[in-house]
Chain A
Amino acid sequence: MSEPTETATPTENADATGLLDRWDALRERESFSVAAAVAFVVVFPFVFTNLPAYSGYMSLVELIYIWAIFAIGFDLLLGYTGLLSFGHAVFWGGSAYAAGIFSANAYGEPLVMILVATVTAVVLALVIGVLALRRGGIYFAILTLAFGQMFYFLALGPLAPITRGENGFTDVSVEPLLGVLDLGTGFAGVFGAVFHDVGYVLYAGFFVLAVATAVRIVRSPYGAILKAIAENESRVGFLGLNVRRYKLAAFVLSGAFAGVAGGLHTIHANYVAVGSLYWITSGDIVIITVLGGIGSVFGPVAGAAAFLYVENIVSGEIAFWLLVLGALFVTVVWLFPAGIWGIVDELRSAVRGRLTGGDT
C-alpha cells in the first residue's frame, strides 16, 4: 500500500479506496478470522513471553486461551444480547468439576473430558436460563448470582464427599490425547518452535475453534437478532420473533463456551478449586470482557491477556496488583468505553481516514 500523504491525488485516493474495499471483502470472510486466530496463536507466545517482567513460561499463555474462550462466550451474552449474568462461575466451575470427577472415575482422555464438561454446562445453562430469564435487567443479574452462589455452597458443603469441599478436587487424572499423545510431548525443529507441545496445540486449537464458532454465530441470523434484542427487546417480539427463546439460546451458547473453557482448565491445572464456583470468578469474567471490549469477538481475547498479565506477572512485582488492575480498568473504561478493542478500532478508522484522504 502506498505511503499515505495528506496531499494524495484523486487517483491515489481511488487506489486506496479500492484496496480498502478489497480488504473489507477479505475481512468479511470467515476464513479470514480463522486465519487471524491461527496467526495469533503462532505469534502471541513470542510477543507475550517477551513482555516486561515475564519469566517465560508457556503455561500462562495457555491459561489466557482458556480464559479467552470463556470470555468470548460471555460476550455473546453481555455484548451481543445485552444480558449481564453475574453467575457464570457456575458453568465454568460446574464443568470443571464434571471433567475432573469424570477423569477420576471413568476416563481421562482430554477430548472426552471436554465433551463431558460442555454437556454439563449446557444442561446447567438450560435449567438456570429458564429460571433466571423470567426476569430482566438487575433482577436477572441477581438471580444468576444467587444460582451461582447456591452451587458454590453445594460444592463446599453437601456435595463435599464428591467435590472434596474446601480442598478442591485433587484426583484429576488426565490421560494422553486420543490415548497416545502425552500433553507434555514437545515437537522438534520449526514445528516445535511454533507449536511447542501437544498441550499447546490442544489449548490453542480449542481457542481457534472458539473464535471460528463465535464469528460464525455473530454472522448468522443470531448475530442480528441478538443485537436487536439488546437494543429494543419488545420490538423484536412484535416482529414475530420469540425473544425469550433467543435469550435462552444465547445463554446456553455462552454456557457451552464456558463449559469448554472449564474442561480445558481442569486439564491444564490438573485440579479443580472450589473458588472456581465462587462469585469472584463471575466478577472476573465480567471485568475481562468489559476491559477487552464488549460486542466483538476479539475484544474479550485482549481482555483476557491484559487481566491475566496483571494478575500473574504484575502481581509478582507489585504487591498491590489489584489496585493496578482497578486503575487499568477504570482508565480504559473511562477513556474508551468500548474497551481495549475500542482503542484498536479507533486506530483502525484513523488509519483508514488518512488512506482515503480524511473524508471519513
Chain B
Amino acid sequence: MTLLETDGLTKRFGELTAVDDVDLQIEEGESLSIIGPNGAGKSTTVNLITGLLNPTEGAVRYRDENITGQEPHEIVQQGLSKSFQTASIFPDLTVRRNAIVASLGAEHGSFSLNFLRRLGGYNAVADRARRTLEDMGLYDRRDVKAKSLPYGDKRRLEMALALAGDPDLLFLDEPTAGMSPDETDDTVELIERIKEERGVTIVLIEHDMEIIFRVSDRIAVLNRGSKIADGTPDQIRGDPDVQQAYLGGVEI
C-alpha cells in the first residue's frame, strides 16, 4: 500500500527553484532513501512533506488524504514523524523528560486541557517513553540533562523524540552526519532494528553512499531540485545520469 505520495511538489524561493516537480511514492514497510549532493533539495523536500514549509505547487498525500499545507503538529498526529539533522532536543530537561514530552503527543492529540491531572498518572506515556529510551540504549542515562550527553547520544535522543510518538512513517535527516565510523555502524544497526521491531517505514535522507546502499530497498536521487533517478540500489549504481550528475562520472 502506498503510504505517502507527492505529486509535482515544487518550491520556489524567488528566482531559485529549490524543489522542482518532484514525484515520490513511499510504500508501507519499504526502505526508501533520498540522496543527492549538497543543495539538491533533499531537506527542502522533507520540510515540504512535514509541514515546515508550504509548497509553491503540488500536493502531498498521506494514506490517500491530502495533507498539503497542514501544520507540522497536524501532520505528526497522523503518524508521520521527522528526526532533525541537528539534534533538536530539550537541553535543560532530563533525557527521560525529553522522551515523556515526545510521548505525550501520541497520548491525547495535539492539545488537552489536562492541566490539573497528574503527569505521573499517565502510565501509557511513561511506558512508551521508557520503551523508546531502552530501544535507543539511553535508558541508563535517563536522569542526565540532555545537554550533557555526548554528541552521538544526543543524535540518538533526537531519534528517540521522533519515535516516542509511535509514528508509522519516519523521516531521518542525515542521522549519521558528523559521527565517527563506529558510531555510524551502531546507528545503522539501530535503524535496521527499529524498522524490524516497530514496523515503522523509514525514509533516509543521506549523502553517505555506503550507508545508503546497505540499508535501502529503493533510492530516489535528487539533483538541483529535480528527481533524476528512482530505483533499486543496483539500478541506481548503474544509472549513467546519476554517475554523471551526482557522482561526477566516477565509477562506484
Contact = CB atoms under 8 A, between A and B. Distances in A.
Interface stretch (A3-11, A232-240, A262-270, A334-342): A232-240
B114 A240 contact: no
Given A224-B97, A242-B110, A237 B71 contact: yes
Contacts of B50: 238
B71 A231 contact: no
A240 B110 CA distance: 6
Interface in A49-95: none
Contacts of B110: 240-242, 245
Interface centre among A221, A227, A228, A232 (most CB of B within 10 A): A221
A76 B101 CA distance: 17
Interface string B81-107: 110100011111100011011101110
B71 A220 contact: no
Contacts of A217: 115-116
A221 B117 contact: yes
Interface in B52-101: 52, 71-73, 76-77, 81-82, 84, 88-93, 97-98, 100-101
User: Which interface residue of B72, B77, B165 has the most chain A CB atoms within 10 A?
Assistant: B72
B73 A221 contact: no
A176 to B, nearest CB: 31
Contacts of A216: 115-116, 118
Interface string B31-57: 000000000000000000010100000
B52 to A, nearest CB: 8
A54 B88 CA distance: 51
Interface residues on A, range: 20 to 34
A246 interface: yes
A299 to B, nearest CB: 16
Nearest to A228: B101
B104 A225 contact: yes
Contact of A240 (B90, B92, B106, B120): B106
Contact of A242 (B92, B111, B115, B118): B111
B122 interface: yes
A274 interface: no
Contact of B90 (A213, A221, A227, A249): A227
Interface of B: 50, 52, 71-73, 76-77, 81-82, 84, 88-93, 97-98, 100-102, 104-106, 108-120, 122, 125, 161-162, 164-165
23 contacts: A213-B116, A216-B115, A216-B118, A221-B117, A221-B125, A222-B115, A224-B97, A224-B100, A227-B90, A228-B97, A231-B93, A232-B90, A234-B52, A234-B88, A237-B71, A237-B72, A238-B84, A239-B102, A240-B81, A240-B109, A241-B73, A241-B104, A242-B71
Given A221-B115, A221-B119, A235-B90, 13 more contacts: A216-B115, A227-B97, A228-B93, A231-B90, A234-B52, A234-B72, A237-B71, A237-B76, A238-B162, A239-B73, A239-B104, A240-B77, A242-B111
